[in-house]
Amino acid sequence: MEALLRLLFERYDRSSALELLRDESQRASAMTALSADLELAGMPAGALSTTEGGNLFVAVLALRLKFPEDEALEKVQLNIAMREGRR
């Protein structure tokens, strides 16, 4: 999730990110374009091509739009820590 969020901040300005949220075909293209970099960061191949992966992409995209980068990363890290605490 952190790698995805960092890539969204790096490659998409606010206007472009908002367009990804609104347009499913652009969102699908972005997920395909980011897949190789995400695999290098440790995300399983094809993870974004599932329904759950698409939902994750939209959720992280919403964080990219709603918060400044540092705050959005803090929220992702908190989410990860909470999930790991449940195991």
> Would you list the domain boundaries of the chain?
2-86
pLDDT at 86: 61
pLDDT at 33: 94
- Mean pLDDT, residues 82-86: 80
pLDDT at 85: 81
Cα separation, 81 vs 87, in Å, equals 10
Cα separation, 17 vs 39, in Å, equals 21
Burial profile 37-52: b = 16 or more Cβ within 10 angstroms, e = fewer = ebeeeebeeebbeeee
- The model's pTM is 0.89
C-alpha Rg value of the chain to the nearest Å: 12
pLDDT at residue 28 tops 90: yes
Q: Yes or no: say if 7 and 38 are a contact pair by the CB < 8 Å rule.
A: yes
- Mean pLDDT, residues 21-34: 96
- Mean pLDDT, residues 63-85: 92
- Mean pLDDT, residues 51-59: 94
- Mean pLDDT, residues 18-36: 95
pLDDT at 62: 96
